[in-house]
Amino acid sequence: MRRRTVVASAFGGVGLASCSSFAEREPPVGLGRIRLVNATDDVIEVVVTVEREGRRVHEDAFELEYRGVREVVDETMGHRVPYAVTVSVPGDSRAGTTSWERLDSLVSNWGDMTCYELSFTVDTDEITTAFNADGVECPS
């Protein structure tokens, strides 16, 4: 398998590489928080759905102000289990989804990090996803 290193997002310095398989181990880190960014010129509504170990554990709708940011932290987060998060715009085709398996396929060494942040940026025609694990606290 070809190894590669890239920067995960503008937020941080997690080195990425592809080599390990999720099936070989449990996640060494948990989902710490979700960051929602409205990059449009309008107030928008987004729906956040969190699945943990294949079961829906959180779903909520939020209104994001023009160029607004919102963080989502829930008591169901922070566990070292597989998560999948989807952010969508109701009545629209824009949606962004990412899962633990995807992150694990990119990161070769989580080091002493305990939780990660998923960031979803809603733009006029798409929702992009990034993540950061540098200094992210786990919910208690």
Are 98 and 61 in contact by the 8 Å Cβ rule? The answer is no
Mean of pLDDT over the chain: 83
pLDDT tens track for 17-53: 334 344 456 899 999 999 999 999 999 999 999 999 8
Q: 74, 21, 23, 65: which is closest to 46 by C-alpha?
A: 65
Q: The domain containing residue 89 runs over which residues?
A: 27-99+113-132
Within a domain: residue 10?
Answer: no
Overall average pLDDT of the 102-120 stretch: 91
Distance, C-alpha 11 to centroid of its chain = 12
Within a domain: residue 16?
Answer: no
